Amino acid sequence: MELTYPADAEEFRAEVRAWLEEHLPDGWFDEGFEMTPAERKAFNQGWTAQLHEGRWLCASWPEEYGGRGLPTMHAVVLAEEFHRAGAPMRADFFGDTLVGPTILQWGTDEQKREFIPKILSGEISWCQGFSEPDAGSDLAGLKTKAELDGDEWVINGQKIWTTQAGYADYIFVLARTDPDAPKHKGISYLLCPMKQPGIEVRPIKQIDASAEFYEVFFTDARCPKDNVVGGVNGGWKVAMTTLGFERGTSATTGYRRFEKELEGIVELAQRNGRAQDPKVRQGLAHAWSKVQIMKINGLRSLSSVLHDTKDKGVATLGATNKMFWSEYHRDVMELAMEIAGMPGQILTGNPQAEESVPGYGARRTNDEYPASVLQSAFFFSRSETIWGGTAQIQRNIVGERVLGLPKEPKPA
Ligand SMILES: Cc1cc2nc3c(=O)[nH]c(=O)nc-3n(C[C@H](O)[C@H](O)[C@H](O)COP(=O)(O)OP(=O)(O)OC[C@H]3O[C@@H](n4cnc5c(N)ncnc54)[C@H](O)[C@@H]3O)c2cc1C
């Protein structure tokens, strides 16, 4: 395997690096750099605008819709440099990672012109209305329905676990538009405005007092007729595309947040003496090996995409990826809490600090339950084998679609 990048990609790397050095706050790269809560808040507020101005957000998107049309290799270099610098890249996960690329793939020209520039500028934020109380893993069993009334869809039903529904401007929502069709075939993918009387959101408060997701109730909610992505009753394939983006991760950067986090866990074990324990040492070595596997698999995927090898082995990597990293993370966070020992049970976070957990954005901490960065990561790791499709469902996909095993029996 050739592990160097082409010269033009390295030139681009220098350009990105120079931009970051110029625009990040003074001292950002210095050992022990810290910001006061007020400084961090100001930085977070201004940074998205700077990224937009520099045209770094979603830079691989086509130029006609405001992207830079970056080729794959350059997009990888861009992601690597932002990771190296520890600079935040994301404006709104649901917009720039899920619905944006989905609209680019399946949307009409009008939809692309309407929504893509607003996603890039951060003008509108999104939430994902897929799961329902009786339709999670069995998503195609969803019951929320939409009926056409003149120029609008009228939506009735309920969604649940809808992250950031409390402040999103739009929801990409799956609704049944043909109740008589087989269940996968009667679903449409609608882009529906959230701020309207027909939509009520209720936060779901969790045991740690955070409330990142919501129940969303639709009672004669209105959605423009033309906001259907992928055609009326064509929503299933579009939803699968969105889930593919949710489960995917950047080939050569996905492992980096785990690598950095593991360094911190090793340091903790060295500091508190647990690194002397053979079982802990073995656990850490095991974790390190898994991070190396993620790194090498990432390079394999990148190499396969660049050389268009269509290698069957690499195709299976995409399918196993979500299962692999989420289970790795759940296990390593359990190890981290074991290493932290009894002091790890004490809540030592500072909710005012507005620190972020690498890879997750805002930290799950608040005045009622001031969890530290490590504790926040531990809690969130419990959800990672669930959202975007559970680890068991990923195994079914690998078994049925990749290995060609018989389909699981369905209830009669
Ligand atoms: C942090 C977080 C954020 C989320 N955000 C969103 C969001 O923004 N929008 C949204 O729409 N949803 C969201 N979800 C919901 C998420 O997509 C669902 O929780 C997930 O799809 C699982 O569905 P469920 O909770 O109904 O569990 P169920 O489907 O009821 O599953 C329960 C258990 O049964 C297992 N199981 C079910 N079917 C099978 C099968 N066929 N074979 C083997 N095992 C099976 C599952 O693996 C699981 O262990 C979020 C979830 C979490 C945890």
What pLDDT is stored for residue 232 in this prediction?
Answer: 98
**Residue 273 pLDDT more than 90?**
yes
Mutate to test the pocket of ligand 1, among 134, 137, 162, 213 (most ligand atoms within 8 A of CB): 137
Q: Does residue 142 contact residue 135 with C-beta atoms inside 8 Å?
A: yes
CA distance 80 to 268: 26
Tens digits of per-residue pLDDT, 337-364? 999 999 999 998 877 765 554 444 445 6
How high is the mean pLDDT of the chain? 89
pLDDT at 143: 98
Check if 246 is active-site. yes
Nearest ligand 1 atom, CA 159: 11
More confident of the two residues 357 and 296: 296
Q: With cut-offs at 50, 70 and 90, classify the pLDDT of residue 257.
A: confident
Residue, of 269 and 31, whose pLDDT is higher: 269
> Which neighbouring-strand residues pair with 175?
188
Mean pLDDT lowest for which of 28-42, 144-158, 336-350, 368-382?
A: 28-42
Give me ligand 1 centre to Cα 137, in Å: 5
Residue 82 has pLDDT above 60, yes or no: yes
Q: pTM of the prediction?
A: 0.91
**Contacts of range 408-411, beta carbons closer than 8 Å, 24 or more positions apart:** none
Q: Which residues line ligand 1 (CB under 6 A)?
A: 127-131, 136-137, 161-163, 213, 383, 386-387, 389-390, 392-393, 396
More confident residue, 214 or 404: 214
pLDDT digits (tens, 9 = 90+) for 83-100: 889 888 876 889 988 999
C-beta of residue 164 within 8 angstroms of C-beta of residue 127: yes
Quick one: pLDDT at residue 311? 65
State the Cα angle at 203 between 39 and 94, rounded to 5°: 60
DSSP string, 105-141: HH--HHHHHHHHHHHHHT-S-EEEE--BTTBSSSGGG
- pLDDT over 90 (residue 181): yes
% of the chain beyond a pLDDT of 90:
60
